[in-house]
Amino acid sequence: MTPERTAKLIQTLNRRQPDLTVITDQVHKPRNIAALVRTCDAVGIPNIHTVTPKEGYQFNGTTRGSDRWVKTQNHASCDDAIAMVKSQGMKVYAAHFSERAVDYRSVDYSQPCAILMGAEKHGVSEAAAEQADEHILIPMMGMVGSLNVSTAAGIILVEAQNQRLQAGMYEQSRLSESEHRDTLFEWSFP
Amino acid sequence: MTPERTAKLIQTLNRRQPDLTVITDQVHKPRNIAALVRTCDAVGIPNIHTVTPKEGYQFNGTTRGSDRWVKTQNHASCDDAIAMVKSQGMKVYAAHFSERAVDYRSVDYSQPCAILMGAEKHGVSEAAAEQADEHILIPMMGMVGSLNVSTAAGIILVEAQNQRLQAGMYEQSRLSESEHRDTLFEWSFP
Ligand SMILES: C[S@@+](CC[C@H](N)C(=O)[O-])C[C@H]1O[C@@H](n2cnc3c(N)ncnc32)[C@H](O)[C@@H]1O
Ligand SMILES: C[S@@+](CC[C@H](N)C(=O)[O-])C[C@H]1O[C@@H](n2cnc3c(N)ncnc32)[C@H](O)[C@@H]1O
């Protein structure tokens, strides 16, 4: 491990956002999960939550190695995933087409929050949508009814990043000392 | 064709942005092109330009039918594609990792412009990058060196949409009368 490499790992850890996460509600295409994980690494999200799709999936997309930098916790149900992030003090923003949806730029991503993304065909399940604090939408001007889920996630997460950059949240480490130390160890000696 | 359907087609045409486009420089994965085309429809982009990859491709991804609403013109070289959009009075903004790259939010997307996206492995070719008016980048805070190309395009195009929404550019038709009429005919009787 060169000193430059160690410095890069530490810089990345110093920018990690432990109070920002994503829940995927039965997203089942590996390539969509892969592109999403890659965006999460780029935005500084250390952990995400997936929910086993009824239809099943195998994890085999091109994460460009980003699954090494982002931990994925799988849950049997979306209820479980939502309960966990709520117990960690996070709000849940569901990317969901509904009457109560607001523009995705109008919510505050600098507070602890989880972005809930829906499945390719069925979107966010109704039971999960009900538990969300907000429903958010990216305005669409065309004929097609929805964006690709990993594209939509990227657009929302980079808005979150922009807000957190504005708020200076990437300027000093936000991990606990032990998380910082343990992750540095893991990353250094895989 | 129901009156509601016709009204939807007209509303979509009224929001089309003929002076906003995308060039893909040898992007070769069909699923990336497919997700991109779907985003283009959503942002109101009527035409895009692709450049035949040296490695070849077959067009077979899930566009969710959006290739019906967005015309794709293929070019033998990126020089040809750039020459065409320049002859139409557009600036070229290359999404490209370089010394001269600026934050993607700092450029003006309300003027006529083409967003140039690079290939999965090799990015934007040097010859094409040199012809671009600006190089733009989405800031990245993680370990991985780049985003998925269709995710990156989505982030940039929705910023363009936001700027154009602000500027009132979706409020009245921007197509010529003949384009509006001919496209409505095509869409009504496919
Ligand atoms: C392909 S869409 C699902 C479409 C599904 N038919 C529906 O009505 O929900 C998959 C997921 O991508 C996200 N998504 C797609 N387009 C979006 C948009 N314009 N705004 C916010 N989220 C979007 C949502 O989380 C959605 O559940
Ligand atoms: C997978 S990347 C190519 C990476 C390639 N190794 C390089 O260095 O250019 C494919 C394309 O996605 C776009 N892209 C990826 N990440 C980006 C970012 N952070 N900002 C702007 N464009 C990006 C660029 O157009 C890039 O050429």
Q: Is A168 on the interface with B (CB under 8 A)?
A: no
Question: Is there a domain that residue B185 lies in?
Answer: no
| B95 CA distance to ligand 2 middle (Å) | 7
pLDDT (tens digit, 9 = 90+) per residue, A77-86? 999 999 999 9
If one counts the domains in chain A, the total is 1
Question: Is there a domain that residue A145 lies in?
Answer: yes
Does the beta-carbon distance from A41 to B142 stay under 8 Å?
A: yes
Range of the domain at A58: 22-168
pLDDT (tens digit, 9 = 90+) per residue, B131-169? 999 999 999 999 999 999 999 999 999 999 999 999 999
Q: Residue B126's domain is classified under what CATH number?
A: 3.40.1280.10
Question: Is there a domain that residue B184 lies in?
Answer: no
How much is the average pLDDT of A93-121? 98
Question: Is there a domain that residue A1 lies in?
Answer: no
Residue B57: what pLDDT?
65
Distance between CA atoms of residues A42 and B124, nearest Å: 20
At A96, is the secondary structure helix, strand, or coil?
Answer: coil
Predicted confidence band of residue B189 (pLDDT cuts 50, 70, 90): confident
How much is the average pLDDT of A88-105? 98
Distance between CA atoms of residues B180 and B178, nearest Å: 5
Is the Cβ atom of A152 under 6 angstroms away from ligand 1?
yes
Nearest CA-CA distance, residue A62 and chain B, Å: 9
Q: Which of B38, B37, B32 is nearest to B121 (CA)?
A: B32
Q: Which of B87, B70, B89 is nearest to B24 (CA)?
A: B70
Nearest CA-CA distance, residue B2 and chain A, Å: 15
Residue A150: what pLDDT?
98
What residues in A contact B44, CB-CB < 8 Å? Answer: 141-142
Does the beta-carbon distance from B148 to A12 stay under 8 Å?
A: no
Question: Is there a domain that residue A128 lies in?
Answer: yes
pLDDT over 70 at B65, yes or no: no
CB burial of residue A56 (10 Å; 0-12, 13-18, 19+) = exposed
Q: State the alpha helices, DSSP H only, in chain B.
A: 3-15, 30-43, 78-87, 126-130, 149-166, 177-188
How much is the average pLDDT of B29-53? 95
- What is the complex's ipTM, to 2 decimals? 0.96
Distance between CA atoms of residues B126 and B140, nearest Å: 22
Q: Which of B152, B40, B52, B59 is nearest to B104 (CA)?
A: B152
Question: Is there a domain that residue A58 lies in?
Answer: yes
Nearest CA-CA distance, residue A172 and chain B, Å: 13
Question: Is there a domain that residue A62 lies in?
Answer: yes
Least reliable range by pLDDT among A49-58, A143-152, B39-48: A49-58
Residue B53: what pLDDT?
87
Share of chain A above pLDDT 90, in %: 88
Predicted confidence band of residue B63 (pLDDT cuts 50, 70, 90): low
pLDDT over 60 at B179, yes or no: yes
Predicted confidence band of residue B58 (pLDDT cuts 50, 70, 90): low
The ligand 2 atom nearest the CA atom of B124: 27
Give the closest of A43, A146, A150 to B141, CB-based.
Answer: A43
pLDDT over 80 at A151, yes or no: yes
Residue A52: what pLDDT?
87
Predicted confidence band of residue B190 (pLDDT cuts 50, 70, 90): confident
Identify the top-confidence range among A9-23, B26-40, B44-58.
Answer: A9-23
Residue B60: what pLDDT?
54
Question: Is there a domain that residue B189 lies in?
Answer: no
Residue A164: what pLDDT?
98
pLDDT (tens digit, 9 = 90+) per residue, B90-127? 999 999 999 999 999 999 999 999 999 999 999 999 99
Residue A1: what pLDDT?
83
- Provide the mean pLDDT of chain A: 94
For residue B29, how many other CB atoms are within 10 A of its CB?
A: 19
How much is the average pLDDT of A4-21? 97
Share of chain B above pLDDT 90, in %: 88
Q: What is the 3-state secondary structure (H, E, C) of B70-123?
A: CEEEEECCHHHHHHHHHHCCCEEEEECCCCCEEEHHHCCCCCCEEEEEEECCCE
Rg (alpha carbons) of chain B, rounded to whole number:
16
Distance between CA atoms of residues A146 and A161, nearest Å: 23
- Provide the mean pLDDT of chain B: 94
| B65 CA distance to ligand 2 middle (Å) | 26
